[in-house]
Amino acid sequence: MRSSLKISLLLLCCIVLGKLSHAQQFVLSGTVYDSSKINYVPGVTVSNKAGQFTITDSMGRYSLTVTEKDSVTFIFRNKATQRFSVHSIPDPSRFDISLRVPYKGKYSTLKEVVVFGKTYREDSLENRETFAKAFNYQKPTVRSTISPDGVAGADLDEIINMFRFKRNKRMKAFQVRLEQEEQDKYVNFRFNKTLVKKLTHLEGTQLDVFMARYRPGYDFVSNAGELELSQYILNCSYKYKIELLQNDAKQ
């Protein structure tokens, strides 16, 4: 009698476990918004038919384990939404909903933001306007001026500046540095990683080494067209790849 009871219980457990195994489980997740569809709603209870539940975090996000035959409801301030059938949800990994209540929390989504990037030319012009005095610096010399009365004479400011040796040296050095920075930026603008990677298919460390080793000078870049610069990059990549193969063969 006891043995038959054990067998019956064992069979019952097998049947129950078999049914459970056939019920595919997966994670339902998403974000809960308020009626504006902008503000996140924290503290929303997400519950399935089995009584399992989770609560949305400060960003309105949730995740709950469900089955294909399951359904979920969202409860906020003791008010529940309709039940949503899991089977009818197109993308369980992104099931976002909007409650019919306003909620102003700490976080919200931003409306569309358009970012305008400056071109190299615009940056260069802005830089020259900012440091116009340094870019336009010329060594002081004796210059003539004409007074409002029409009398010609020497420019006293220029004469004074001729003897301000430290100031003149500092201004000249600053001018040279600004011009060098402008040239470096122009080379970076044209000889950039996006272009080099597209032409050479190099990546990671190999790309970094190539960029440093075969960086062209300003004179070449300023006079080269797009085709000429691209050919230069390809020619250098052939040399570099041969070198890489030779190094691999030695190892």
- The one-letter code for the residue type at 165 is F
In contact, 221 and 187? CB cutoff 8 Å: yes
Q: Please report the pLDDT score of residue 71 as a whole number.
A: 94
In a domain, 8, yes or no: no
Q: Please report the pLDDT score of residue 124 as a whole number.
A: 60
Count: domains in the chain: 3
Q: Which residues pair with 41 in a beta bridge?
A: none
Flag whether pLDDT at 77 surpasses 60: yes
In a domain, 1, yes or no: no
Average pLDDT, the chain: 78
| CA dist., res. 156 & res. 246, Å (int) | 68
My answer on whether 48 and 89 are in the same domain is yes
Q: Please report the pLDDT score of residue 122 as a whole number.
A: 53
| CA dist., res. 7 & res. 64, Å (int) | 36
| CA dist., res. 198 & res. 207, Å (int) | 11
CA distances from 135 to 126, 161, 222 (A): 12, 17, 19
pLDDT tens digits for 159-204?
Answer: 555 556 677 777 777 777 878 888 888 899 899 999 999 999 999 9
| CA dist., res. 236 & res. 214, Å (int) | 7
Q: What is the mean pLDDT of residues 43-66?
A: 93
In a domain, 159, yes or no: yes
Flag whether pLDDT at 84 surpasses 60: yes
Which is higher by pLDDT, 26 or 31? Answer: 31
Picking from 125, 157, 181, the residue at the C-terminal end of a domain is 181
My answer on whether 121 and 65 are in the same domain is no
My answer on whether 44 and 61 are in the same domain is yes
- For residue 79, give the 3-state DSSP assignment: strand
CB atoms within 10 A of CB 63: 14
111 band by pLDDT with thresholds 50, 70 and 90: low
Picking from 162, 181, 200, the residue at the C-terminal end of a domain is 181
Q: How far apart are the first and last CA of the chain?
A: 77
| CA dist., res. 243 & res. 151, Å (int) | 72
Q: What is the mean pLDDT of residues 231-243?
A: 93
DSSP 1-22: -HHHHHHHHHHHHHHHHHHHHH
Picking from 61, 92, 110, the residue at the C-terminal end of a domain is 110
- What CATH number is given to the structural domain containing 85? 2.60.40.1120
In a domain, 6, yes or no: no
Query: Domain range spanning residue 44?
Result: 26-110
- Determine how β-strand 25-33 pairs with β-strand 61-67: antiparallel
Q: Measured in whole angstroms, how far is the alpha carbon of residue 144 from the centre of its chain?
A: 56
My answer on whether 197 and 248 are in the same domain is yes
Flag whether pLDDT at 130 surpasses 70: no
My answer on whether 220 and 244 are in the same domain is yes
